Amino acid sequence: MRKLLLSAASIAALNLIACGQAQNSTISSSDKLEVTVKSLTEAASIGIDSSSPTIQEAKEFLEKSEEEIVKLSEFASKIYWVQANFITEDTNSLAAMAGAQVAKMSTRL
């Protein structure tokens, strides 16, 4: 989630800087760099809680993640079993969709 917020804030800052550069063409390149670095630093720090997660929050995250992983694993294993025993375009498509869901979840968690 933090990476998403940082990325969005950085993109927003770059867009604002790009729009402002057309109007402020008299600014020197060193000043532009300083403004860019400052803007990006400020944008990156917006919305970020500097405190680390508590032990309770970490436990809740792990429990929720484990439950989600177990459910998806059971679902995917059933699809893969059907695909292995009944090889058709439909079962191959189902297996591909299950694989995509597993990949998406693995990058999200």
Domain residue ranges in the chain:
2-45, 55-108
pLDDT of residue 93: 95
pLDDT of residue 82: 95
C-alpha to C-alpha distance for 107 and 105, rounded to whole angstroms: 5
pLDDT, tens digit (0-9, with 9 covering 90-100), for 80-104: 999 999 999 999 999 999 999 999 9
Residue stretches of the chain with pLDDT short of 50: 24
Both tokens of 96, joined, read: 């591909």
pLDDT of residue 51: 78
pLDDT of residue 100: 94
pLDDT of residue 53: 83
C-alpha to C-alpha distance for 24 and 28, rounded to whole angstroms: 10
Both tokens of 73, joined, read: 């694993």
Helix (H) or strand (E) holding 8: helix 2-23
pLDDT of residue 52: 84
